[in-house]
Structure 1
Amino acid sequence: MTGLGAVRPLATATQARLWAAEQLTPGTGELNVPVALRLRGPLDSDALVRALRALAARHESLRSTFALDTRGRLRWTAHGPEHFRVEVVDLTDRPDPHAAAQRLVEDVAWRPFDLASEVLRTAVLTLAPDDHVLVCAGHHVVFDDWSVAVFFRELEVLYAAALRGLDGARMLPPLAFGYTELSFEEQRLRSRGTLDDQVAYWAGQLAGAEPVAVPADRPRPTVRTAHADEHAFALPGPLVTRLTEVGRACGASPFMTLLAGFHALLRRWTGQTDITVGTLVTGRTTPEREKLITCLVNTLAIRSTAPKGVPFVDLLTGIRQRTLDAFAHQEAPYDQVVAALPEPAAGRRPLVQVTFELQNTTTDVAALRGGRGELPVFRGLATTAHPVPRLTARHDLELALGTGAGDAELSGRVVYPTDLFDAGTITAVVRDFRTLLDEVAADPHRPV
């Protein structure tokens, strides 16, 4: 890997997009990715700080900054390990340590980042000798859900080593591929025309597509706010099993089947037959990429144009093929895909207004946020997820499904902007989604 601060490679397309988004929403913290853990037991704070510093020394992205060069191109710089700081705060003498801790958690989590000076902040808060909170907040420019999982898996190893006075770096496999190599790899793809070919594919697939026009309870505000709420629900195991069987008969994965169900819901709710739904891919397409802490996510726009009254199995078959093609062209940066489409009419909204996720690769991240999954195990400590309250909605409707409490069950949540929707409307939409899934699971040839 490249030496510390030796070069300033170009930011990847993903980083450039997120950096630009931060400039458009300064001071909001919308792109912060926070996680907090409650640690009960005899925590060795010094060992935890050493472990966090070792993690930053290992991953150059955690001590990086972003800035434009003299030609207006965004570049990334890795600084030395001393650039990474951990705040340690003793709250035991406060009148209400828990309230003080929560204020600090929210400050660390949501304070806006200046990407020219830092991309990650961490704090270790002591409420009592046997009660602590670890809070970490990274900017999305270097932090995604996969990165969060890598961060805490490696922190477990490094903390255990620090307790024993060992060099934790020797207990983790070396990283032969880092952010510098990632940047150079993207430049090679661009120079060979690979990305241009993929962008051209998407331009053809999305030609003439219109945003999904979900019926809102109120007019869209002139200036978008981040005000949001969520509706949680569950899909029972027997229903999920039947849907899986429907998909298997069509050669479709559970992701494709549930995405087709969401398309069918949007067709019924909006009356549109041309539906485009955004979904995220992790970008972890090689073993080397799987080990990185950085943001590699990309948006894929999955479009269906089936006529009214089409049987669900036909809609599913079409979405299956579109999804396979999309994943085969997932390297094309979404902002470049959008730039390749015809210039939208003045005032027209972005193409992707609704999103869908099936979160089946980051169950430990779900646990970190209070859901089901495995939490990090720190020697001698009981670990629980600590709430970091705040929601933001970047789209009109965001549907996410993940591992539920029972066998085969899926938990779900819909995040929505309260500027547009009442809670009762979203409750009704989720109820309709469940009903529709029951119908197509019982009769996959049912018209949708």
Structure 2
Amino acid sequence: MKNNKDLTQRRARLTPEQQQRLKQRLQINSDRMHQKSTILRRHASESALVSYAQHRHWFLWQLDPQSTAYHLSGVLHLLGKLNAEALQVSFQALVARHESLRTVFRANAEGLPEQIIESEGKFELTMISLCDLPAEQRAQRARDEAMRINATPFDLTQGPLLRVALIQIATEEHHLVVVMHHIISDAWSNRIIIDEFAACYRAHIEGESLLLPELPIQYADYAQWQRNWLEAGEKDRQLIYWRNQLGAEHPVLQLPTDYARSSNSSYRAAQHDFTLPDSLATRLQCQAQDRGATLFMMLLAGFQALLHRYTGQGDIRVGVPIANRHRAEIENVVGLFVNTQVLRNTIDSR
């Protein structure tokens, strides 16, 4: 008690500037302690609440269970001899290794969504053969089948939330279609799945055993740690920070080329791809390096300047997806970690 009283008196004697510096140092130390806090494995008998990112997707799915807006899909074009058994075994190993790939969701007695991690059951691979069709029809039919598989809604309470289909076009030509709901995966996770699938498949056809490094945690462990961390005060600290950064008003850009906003969201958007000339890309890279910046920062600043030119508004905010994988434990874990970062730039006519 005496030590606490002494500290209080000493702090009271500090000038406002000294108190502010002390507060900043204490905050830095607090942040470091948060970063060093260990993500522990949860006991198998414990209920697994969803992460904040998963909670958003649970809410959106309940609003529109038939929506396919948050389906993650991809198609691999495979040429050459294919070992279907090795493919099946490889995906079975992935499902056993990553709990997210065998997770469904239910509401508990309090109405809060929970992760239900199912046992390592048998993985089901859908096989579709188009070899009986005329050759000129197979490519289009394969695209139609892939679109159908992706457009089939997921039931988050039933699962599985991972679909894999092998479409055979010819003896040595296949399309591998993989579809997941975003609530169990993200773009970074897709890369993990592809890399580990390739390693498992190669090991199986070569008759070798593959020993992937053991995962230190699973996604449900991270979700529990995240909730404990944020609810212990970190959430309030971050909320104060972002309110200070972004303010209370969030102006909508008035683009002269924009369309009237529809009352119904279709989740459909156009896409325009273009490639910068090599000479321009090189000059931009050099400019970024000279200023201690990245090429992404240069391109974002240019985009924000363009929006300023079109709108005449000086407060330009762009939402950018971030991987959100700043901890070593989660680097190789499949799950929904991605978040959207608001990057604000204040621009004047100069």
Same fold (TM over 0.5): yes
Q: Is the 8 A contact 1:144 1:296 kept in 2?
A: yes
Cα deviation digits, residues 180-229 of structure 1 (max 9, x gap): 22012202312331222112111221112312222235322221223332
* 1:33 alignment partner in structure 2: 72
- AA matched with 2:109: T
| 1:126 and 2:168 are equivalent in the alignment | yes
Q: Is the 8 A contact 1:276 1:304 kept in 2?
A: yes
Cα deviation digits, residues 366-394 of structure 1 (max 9, x gap): xxxxxxxxxxxxxxxxxxxxxxxxxxxxx
* 2:283 alignment partner in structure 1: 242
Q: CA deviation at 1:7?
A: 4.0
Q: Which residue of 251, 254, 276 corresponds with 1:210?
A: 251
CA distance in 2, matches of 1:217, 1:186: 38
Q: Which residue of 249, 260, 274 corresponds with 2:315?
A: 274
Q: Is the 8 A contact 1:215 1:270 kept in 2?
A: yes
- AA matched with 2:327: T
1:108–1:205 CA distance, 2 compared to 1 (3 A): same
| 1:77 and 2:116 are equivalent in the alignment | yes
Q: Is the 8 A contact 1:35 1:109 kept in 2?
A: no
3-state SS of 2:50 partner: coil
Q: CA deviation at 1:39?
A: 0.8
1:128–1:166 CA distance, 2 compared to 1 (3 A): same
Cα deviation digits, residues 231-256 of structure 1 (max 9, x gap): 11111222222223333333322222
Q: Is the 8 A contact 2:88 2:123 kept in 1?
A: no
* Structure that is richer in helix per residue: 2
CA distance in 2, matches of 1:57, 1:3: 18
Q: Which residue of 213, 221, 231 corresponds with 1:181?
A: 221
- AA matched with 2:176: L
Q: Is the 8 A contact 1:22 1:31 kept in 2?
A: no
CA distance in 2, matches of 1:5, 1:30: 32
Q: Is the 8 A contact 1:5 1:77 kept in 2?
A: no
May I ask how many residue pairs the two structures share in their alignment? 307
* 2:14 alignment partner in structure 1: none
1:25-424, aligned counterparts within 5 Å? 25-82=64-121, 84-95=123-134, 96-118=137-159, 119-168=161-210, 170=211, 172-207=212-247, 208-306=249-347, 308-309=348-349
- Provide TM-score, normalisation by structure 2: 0.82
Q: Is the 8 A contact 1:65 1:76 kept in 2?
A: yes
Give the greater-gyration-radius structure (CA): 2
Q: Is the 8 A contact 2:95 2:123 kept in 1?
A: yes
CA distance in 2, matches of 1:147, 1:219: 36
1:247–1:271 CA distance, 2 compared to 1 (3 A): same
**Matched residues, percent identical?**
33
RMSD of aligned C-alpha atoms?
A: 2.1
Q: Is the 8 A contact 2:68 2:151 kept in 1?
A: yes
1:117–1:165 CA distance, 2 compared to 1 (3 A): farther
Which moves more between the two structures, 131-140 or 284-293? 284-293
- AA matched with 1:220: R
Q: CA deviation at 1:167?
A: 4.1
- AA matched with 1:281: I
CA distance in 1, matches of 2:193, 2:93: 11
Cα deviation digits, residues 373-425 of structure 1 (max 9, x gap): xxxxxxxxxxxxxxxxxxxxxxxxxxxxxxxxxxxxxxxxxxxxxxxxxxxxx
Q: CA deviation at 1:86?
A: 1.7
Q: Which residue of 53, 60, 70 corresponds with 1:21?
A: 60
- AA matched with 2:185: F
- AA matched with 1:107: R
- Provide TM-score, normalisation by structure 1: 0.65
- AA matched with 2:251: E
Q: Is the 8 A contact 2:319 2:341 kept in 1?
A: yes
CA distance in 2, matches of 1:42, 1:211: 54
CA distance in 1, matches of 2:185, 2:342: 22
CA distance in 2, matches of 1:126, 1:132: 4
1:40–1:82 CA distance, 2 compared to 1 (3 A): same
Cα deviation digits, residues 422-446 of structure 1 (max 9, x gap): xxxxxxxxxxxxxxxxxxxxxxxxx
Q: CA deviation at 1:6?
A: 4.4
* 1:380 alignment partner in structure 2: none
Cα deviation digits, residues 45-97 of structure 1 (max 9, x gap): 11101111111111110111012111121111111221642212233224544
3-state SS of 1:151 partner: helix
3-state SS of 1:192 partner: helix
- AA matched with 2:180: G
- AA matched with 1:23: Q
CA distance in 1, matches of 2:91, 2:43: 18
1:99–1:120 CA distance, 2 compared to 1 (3 A): same
* 1:367 alignment partner in structure 2: none
3-state SS of 1:100 partner: helix
